[in-house]
Amino acid sequence: MKKTYANGLFVFCSVIFIVLGAGCAPSNQLTLDSATYAGGAPLYIIGPGDNVNIFVWGNAELSSSVPVRPDGRITTPLVEDVVASGKTTSQLARDMEKELARYIKNPVVTVIVTGFTGRYSEQIRVIGEAAKAQSLPYKEHLTLLDVMIAVGGLTELAAGNKASIVRVVDGRQQQYNVRLEDLIQHGDITANVDMLPGDVLIIPETWF
């Protein structure tokens, strides 16, 4: 029986290591205010699947609402195949102005994102024993509790207090323990933590 348990744990650790390049044992604990992001609060980065409104001031016929295609580009009146993915709204607006300047004088463009998906690298991924394991678009001030509400909580087999967050810090993957059972089932708000773009939440299965 002990051998079966050990083998099962080894397989689980191996799978997580292969997929995420991280070990089974989390390195340390996170707190609600411990999340940091280089350069301050991250600006939203446009990604495939987003919907963007392009407003060209004084030229309503050139304004449009368009989706960002899977190749990361958009097409608007007079302008074809402009790369939108990987840019902020301001960066895309300046690029659109440069393109439109070939047709109209001194164009002024404003870009507004109305449908949010974001780049894959910015999304929050939840794997393992979540009721609805999925990827979520990152939003400013997103917390672990927000993520768990979005995925419908834990399954009956979840080892909530053995969950962890894999995060890239200074170019290296780090793994942090989080206490989902304390947060969700016992209402311990001290177990809530901030999430950052690209975080992966791993929820293992209970071993009986």
Domain contains 183: yes
Handedness of CA 191, 203, 144, 183 (dihedral sign): negative
Which residue, chain included where needed, has tokens 């300046």?
Answer: 94
Tell me: pLDDT of 166 over 50.
Answer: yes
Residues 107 and 146 both lie in one domain = no
Residues 199 and 131 both lie in one domain = yes
Three state DSSP letters for 118-150: CCHHHCEEEEECECCCCEECCCCCCEHHHHHHH
User: Which strands, in side-by-side order, build the sheet including 64-67?
Assistant: 64-67, 51-56, 109-115
Residues 198 and 126 both lie in one domain = yes
Tokens standing for 64? 């449009």
- Give the CATH number, domain containing residue 67: 3.30.1950.10
Instruction: Report if pTM > 0.85.
Output: no
- pLDDT grade, residue 119 (50/70/90)? confident
Tell me: pLDDT of 19 over 60.
Answer: no
Domain contains 92: yes
- pLDDT grade, residue 33 (50/70/90)? low
Domain contains 186: yes
Which residue range(s) make up the domain with 149?
A: 2-39+120-203
